Amino acid sequence: MLGLSLLGGIVAAGIAFPAAIGLGLVANDASDSVGSVSTEVLDQPLPQTTIVTDNAGNTIAQLFVPDQNRRSVTSDEISPAMKAAIVAVEDRRFYQHQGVDWQGTVRAVVTN
């Protein structure tokens, strides 16, 4: 019985191995693409002026309101309430699930 159990485990692992490798490769590719896009975003200067364009991408207007005095700030210069509000807009249950929303993930899998 022990031998059959061991053999069954080896067969099950052999069947699951290609799927695990495939999922690992897909996850690796996805993380690489996200990393490269994130790097591109961080390398560009932040816009200080709002640019309005038409559907062809041509600039129609550049808007800047002097009394707004837009400037880049560091994270410690942003109030905790503003940070919490931004997180709440993106994911209202973020602090309940600690970053991985299994309920939302399962819902998305079922819906899509």
pLDDT at 38: 55
What percentage of the chain carries pLDDT values higher than 70? 79
Q: How many whole angstroms separate alpha carbon 2 and alpha carbon 4? A: 5
Model confidence at 94: pLDDT above 60:
yes
Which tens digits make up the pLDDT trace of 9-60?
Answer: 888 888 888 888 888 877 777 766 665 555 555 666 665 677 889 999 898 9
Per-residue model confidence (pLDDT) at position 13: 83
Give the Cβ contact number of residue 101 at 10 Å. 15
- Cα dihedral 91, 94, 96, 97 sign: positive
